[in-house]
Chains A and B, each alone.
Chain A
Amino acid sequence: MRPDDPIRLDRRRREDPAIKAALDALAAELQTAGRDARANAAEPERPLVTWAAALRDRLIAAAGTKPWQASADGLAGAKAWAMQAPDASTKPWALDAPPQASLKPWSAEALSASTKPWAVEAPTSASTKPWVLPFLARAERLSVRPMPLAGLAMAAVLVMVAVVGLAAIRSPGAPPAVAGVSVDAWLVRDGIRSSLADGIALHAGDAIDVGAAGGATLHLGDGEARLAGGASLRITALADGSVTLEQLAGRVYHRVALPEGGRYVVATGPLRWVAEGTAFDLRRSTTSGGGEQAELLAVEHAVTVRGDDLSARVAQGKLAVVTLTEGAAEALDIAPVPPELLDDPWLWANADADHQLDFELGILATRRGEPTPIPTAVGTATPGATPAEAAEAAGTPAPAAATPAPKPRATARPTAKPTAKPTQAPTSAPTAVPTPTMTLDLTACHGAVLIEWEEVKKGSFDHYLTLRNTDSSIPKAYPPKNGAVDPGTTYANDRDQLSAFDAGADAGTRTYYRAMTFDDDDEVTAWSSVKSVVPKDHADLGPLDVSGTALGLSFSWSSYGGPGKCFDYYKIVSSPDHANPSYLDGDQVLAAPGSQGDSSAAGLVHLPGTYHFIVEAIKRTDTGKFLVAHTEVETFTVLP
């Protein structure tokens, strides 16, 4: 029995009234002391109004991309939140706030807090994200043929002429498009959102959104588009035997089967993926700040990807990864798909569904030949087959492309040819292939790779850890093997800790990661598939301008233009003796502006003397913070 166990109290014995009175008096005295303690420390204990509003804003922005987008009511709620002006007078923390004059160092911002448009910025509309023309930076293993704009335009004209001519000769009409079985899926038609019903005819302009734990199948011609949880797909055009789609977010397995001459095109932002063959798996993930990644696995035959100044062919069995920042293609990487990525329940389930429809399975044929556990047939849109992996890829809803559609090509000819089933070759001693049981989401932030995963709720738990390697071999073990290393910044010993970072990978070099969960004996109890990313160096915020006025110091810098997901706050840092002051090294912080768009601060009081100043953009994770971007150091003398 523990000493504090209440059962040890003798409940029959009544406390001496004198003792009770003495304890009450003591409690009252301490109550007063506690109130005084809070009052004496009142100012630092109160949250700054602008910081509180920025945090609220950030939480809502994060929330706006998640479950309540799946319901109309929830979306309305999020909008209602967003429409609430940050009326400081109605918030408890605002009521507690000291008078504006004493709101240093953010008095200016505090004064304008109630008029700032942050409230209506919260759930940024996915469809309003401007996309700029992409440029292409060559990367290793790049297989790209830049096309001169003039040549592209000429080709487009020729293609249009050819298509118009063909259309005059042959007009096969719109391929049939019908919704199949779906779970937690929504049809958005003419701005009205309704549950996606099995059998409903689909038209150009329709959009289908799938909840995080849902799934949906669309019958397009004789093929299918199978949407994983979190996916969003819009039908752009159904005409002339062709299908044109826009994949707005998440992961979709496209099984193409159209009449001869029909084209199957999927747009992701400024990119167009044109099916040459009959099956591919495409996932689109994006960051709230505009960074985006599209990954395509060519399952059967090839897929051509095109963008402005970009054209490449992804052959069967190859994985193409295109990274875009603010609509510009930073890199296209095409490489053989790592075998580990085929250990994917989503792909197995699709292979099973394709098999039932008598389609060829391409690179999944051998995979399906193995006696691996296939969760359920996705051909019937069972979300259970995909949730973890699909959620991994889904990210936040992606911006819709504002770029004009590409000029059609007259020569596209995907084939719809149901063929004989591949022969199954079961082995005599089937061995189940273990499936990844953790999600892993990588973001190449400036300065570090942001690593995120979802909570592992089952099994014995001691900690999470993510390993890194320069190739895709990362065994599920600790200590690391095969050249994998422990970055040292991903250890998380709380199930609720779901993010970490790695600032030690080489910028510009594709780097692979696997997240794992360990028990008390350092045995791996859950793990993710291996994923890769190309780390980036710190971003440059340009020169820092410091000036002094009677009201204090003023600072201005260039705001951080990278993904919002990679930013939490700025720190204005000073040091009298460090030529390169650093917030993470413990130098003095004058202020911490919390909005990414901030580019100035004024009225900061500082002791006289000569100091080195810097502004740093910082990202916080559950295992620590990292430097994302910084200004140049400015040395300034503060006069008495």
Chain B
Amino acid sequence: MTHEQPGSRLDRDHERALVARARADAAAFGELYDFYLPRIHGFIVRRVGDRAVAEDLTAVTFERALNAVRRDDFRNDAFGAWLFRVASNAIVDHVRGASRTIPLAADGEPEPIGDERAARQLEAAVERDQLRRAMSRLSEQHRRALALRFVDDLDAEEAAAVMGCSRATFAVRLHRALNAMRGALAEEATDAA
């Protein structure tokens, strides 16, 4: 596959150096914060749909990051990916805590929250009707992989961290999701015929 690579990223060596310095140098953590804030905030707000909640969870994510990078035993190999995982966990905690007060959408159905909410945004943005319907047929796992890759613009390492698997496993999942979509698209075409 040759699809477009995710957007701008910190150079890996530079990021490692920043994380190493952040233990004793606030400016280094500031640089990490400045770079990741919009991506983390967007990742969260896409899943919770509420700016105030997103701000809370974003703050939680960076506070945990600050505490973590200052520990001697912090594993400094993929900070960005780790950060997305922390954000993802914060969202899961929030969803669990808010399970009794899920807001209703206009149609009276519970409004999706979490990765499914991001997946629906991707689905809504697909222009081709057939493709949109094909996506709606996919399993939750496949929709999740597509959302992480295409809506959140995560690279394989970041998406793998969120899904709790290896990069190779995520690559497989993404490949299978696209394959499943191709199959669903073929079924859509058959149904239409």
Interface set of A (CB-CB < 8 Å, partner B): 4-6, 9, 19-20, 22-24, 26-31, 33-34, 36-38, 40-41, 44-48, 51-52, 55-56, 58-60, 62-64, 66-68, 71, 73-74, 77-78, 80-82, 84, 91-93, 96, 457, 494, 496-498, 568-569, 571, 586, 589, 592, 620, 622, 624-625
User: In the docked arrangement, what's the CA distance between A422 and B179, Å?
Assistant: 80
Interface secondary structure of B, over-half rule = helix
Q: B70 at interface (Cβ–Cβ under 8 A)? A: yes
Contact with A along B1-37 (1 / 0, CB 8 A): 1111000000000000000010111111110011101
Contact of B24 among A59, A68, A91, A496 (CB under 8 A): A68
CB distance from B157 to the nearest CB of A (A): 15
Contacts A6-B168, A20-B1, A28-B3 given; does A37 touch B34 at CB 8 Å: no
Task: List chain A residues, Cβ under 8 A from B59.
Answer: 55, 58, 568, 620
- Interface range for B: 35 or more
Name the one of B146, B153, B172 contacting A6, with C-beta atoms under 8 angstroms.
B172
Q: Is B41 located at the chain interface by the 8 A CB criterion?
A: yes
Q: Does B52 contact A (CB under 8 A)?
A: yes
Indicate whether B144 reaches chain A with its CB closer than 8 angstroms: no
Residues A34 and B37 in contact in the complex (CB < 8 Å), given A45-B46, A55-B59, A77-B24: no
Contact B30 A29 (CB under 8 A): no
In the bound assembly, the distance between CA atoms of A93 and B32 in angstroms comes to 12
| Chain A residues in 8 Å Cβ range of B24 | 67-68, 71, 73-74, 77
User: Which residues B163-193 have CB closer than 8 A to chain A?
Assistant: 165-166, 168-169, 171-173, 175-176, 178-179, 181-182, 185
Task: Write the chain A residue with the least CB distance to B150.
Answer: A34
Contact assessment for A30 and B4 in the assembled complex, using a CB-CB cutoff below 8 Å: no
B60 at the interface (CB under 8 A from A): yes
Q: Does B76 contact A (CB under 8 A)?
A: no
Contacts of B4 in A (CB 8 A): 28, 31
Tell whether B104 is near chain A: CB-to-CB under 8 Å.
Answer: no
Residue of B nearest to A95 (CB): B38
The answer to whether B131 touches A622 (Cβ under 8 A) is no
- Inter-chain CA distance A4–B151, complex, in Å, is 22
In-complex Cβ contact of B121 among A28, A37, A66, A498 (8 A): A37
Contact B35 A92 (CB under 8 A): yes
Q: Which residues of A contact B129 (CB under 8 A)?
A: none
Verify A26–B46 contact, CB threshold 8 A. Answer: no
8 example contacts (A-B, Cβ-Cβ < 8 A) are as follows A4-B172, A24-B3, A26-B185, A34-B125, A56-B30, A58-B59, A73-B25, A497-B93
**Partner among B51, B62, B128, B176 whose Cβ is within 8 Å of the Cβ of A29:** B128
Contacting residues of chain B (52-90) with chain A, CB-CB under 8 angstroms = 52, 55-56, 58-60, 62-64, 66-68, 70, 73, 86, 89
Partner of B131, one of A29, A84, A96: A29
A60 to B70, CA, bound (A): 13
Residue of B nearest to A74 (CB): B24
Given contacts A4-B172, A34-B125, contact A80 B182 (CB under 8 A): no
Do the beta carbons of A47 and B56 come within 8 Å of each other?
Answer: no
Contact B29 A67 (CB under 8 A): no
| Interface assignment of B97: CB less than 8 Å from any CB of chain A | yes
Q: What are the residues of chain A within 8 A of B146 when measuring CB–CB?
A: 30
Name the A residues within 8 Å of B97 (CB-CB): 624
The chain B residue with its CB closest to the CB of A30 is: B150
Of listed A20, A37, A498, A622, residue having the most chain B CB within 10 A: A37
A231 and B121 alpha carbons, distance in the complex (Å): 52
Given contacts A23-B179, A494-B93, A498-B67, contact A56 B33 (CB under 8 A): yes
| Alpha-carbon gap, A370 to B51, bound state (A) | 57
Task: Give complex CA distance A66, B152 in Å.
Answer: 34
Check A589 against B52 for contact (C-beta < 8 Å). yes
| Given contact pairs A84-B30, A92-B37, A23 touches B175 in the complex (Cβ within 8 A) | yes
B127 beta carbon closer than 8 Å to chain A: yes
Chain B residues with CB under 8 Å of A26's CB are 131, 178, 181-182, 185
8 Å CB contacts to A: which residues of B124-160? Answer: 124-128, 131, 146, 149-153
B42 contacts the other chain (Cβ, under 8 Å)? yes
**In chain B, what residue has the closest Cβ to A594?**
B55
In the bound complex, residues from chain B placing their C-beta under 8 Å from that of A52 are 37, 41
Whether B45 is near chain A, meaning CB under 8 Å from some CB there, is: yes
- B5 CB to nearest A CB, Å: 10
Tell me which residues across on chain B come within 8 A of A586, comparing CB atoms: 101
Are B30 and A60 in contact (CB-based, < 8 A)? yes
Q: Does B95 contact A (CB under 8 A)?
A: no
A622 to B61, CA, bound (A): 11
A34/B122 contact (C-beta < 8 A), A41-B46, A45-B46 known: yes
Q: State the CA gap A55–B60 with chains docked (Å).
A: 10
The reply to whether A81 and B55 contact each other, CB–CB distance below 8 Å, is: no
Residue numbers in B under 8 Å from A58 (CB-CB): 59
Contact A68 to B55, CB < 8 A, known contacts A34-B150, A59-B62: no
Give the CA-CA distance A52 to B153 in the complex, in Å: 21
Distance (whole angstroms) from the CB of A587 to the closest CB of chain B: 12
- Assess the A31–B35 pair: CB atoms within 8 A: no
Q: Of A24, A30, A36, A77, which one neighbours B2 at CB under 8 angstroms?
A: A24
- Bound-state Cα–Cα, A607 to B150, Å: 36
